[in-house]
Amino acid sequence: MIRLNRITDISGIRVGHAEDERIASGVTALVFDTPFTCAVDVRGGGPGTRETDLLDPAATVQAVDALVLAGGSAFGLDAAAGVVAHLREAGRGFAVGDVRVPIVPGAILFDLLNGGDKGWGRFPPYRELGYAAALAAQDGAFALGSVGAGLGARTANLKGGLG
């Protein structure tokens, strides 16, 4: 097998992207075929995360079903709910009695000032983008560059991306 030096060279990891060109933002989901043990190091003056405390080795949950990265600053935290919805439909998650709870930590980046239309109304689009990214992870192919969570990424005057 040819290795491309991508995260998917690790067996059991799938990546999916979803983006909205109008808002200049998107979501990337890393979905694991079986729960993965993960860790995190949160830094910076304004981190935006969801369920990263579960990645502490002392936590009850020892593995996660997926990880999600999203644009949208605090609004992007909704993306993990879309990934959770997709995994729940697939019967995935941590068993709590008869209920399965998909464990999906996530992090966001700030892309609110990148020129995209952020007038999305009452509900930001990130939950649906998260669902679409998890669905896209099923096919195994994914792009690099200014896609998914990296679509609207910028630092100063430099365009960002993934990969």
pLDDT tens digits, 101-130: 999 999 999 999 999 999 999 999 999 999
What backbone phi and psi angles, to 5 degrees, belong to 22?
A: -60, -45
Sequence-distant (6+) residues with CB within 8 A of 132 are 16, 18, 27, 82
Predicted confidence at residue 1, as pLDDT, reads 57
Looking at per-residue confidence, does 3 or 62 come out higher?
62
Q: Where are the domains of the chain?
A: 7-140
Range from 129-133, 137-141, 149-153 carrying the lowest mean pLDDT: 137-141
Residue 137 pLDDT exceeds 80: yes
Report the percent of the chain where pLDDT is more than 90.
72
Say what the pTM is: 0.93
Predicted confidence at residue 142, as pLDDT, reads 87
- Nearest alpha-carbon partner for 151 in 7, 15, 19, 49: 19
pLDDT tens digits, 15-60: 999 999 999 999 999 999 999 999 898 888 889 999 999 998 888 8
Report the percent of the chain where pLDDT is more than 70.
97
Confidence of residue 3 (pLDDT cuts 50, 70, 90): low
Residue 64 pLDDT exceeds 90: yes
Quickly count: other Cβ atoms within 10 Å of residue 117's Cβ.
Answer: 11
Cβ pair 121, 23 in contact under 8 A: no
**7-140 under CATH 3.60.70.12, yes or no:** yes
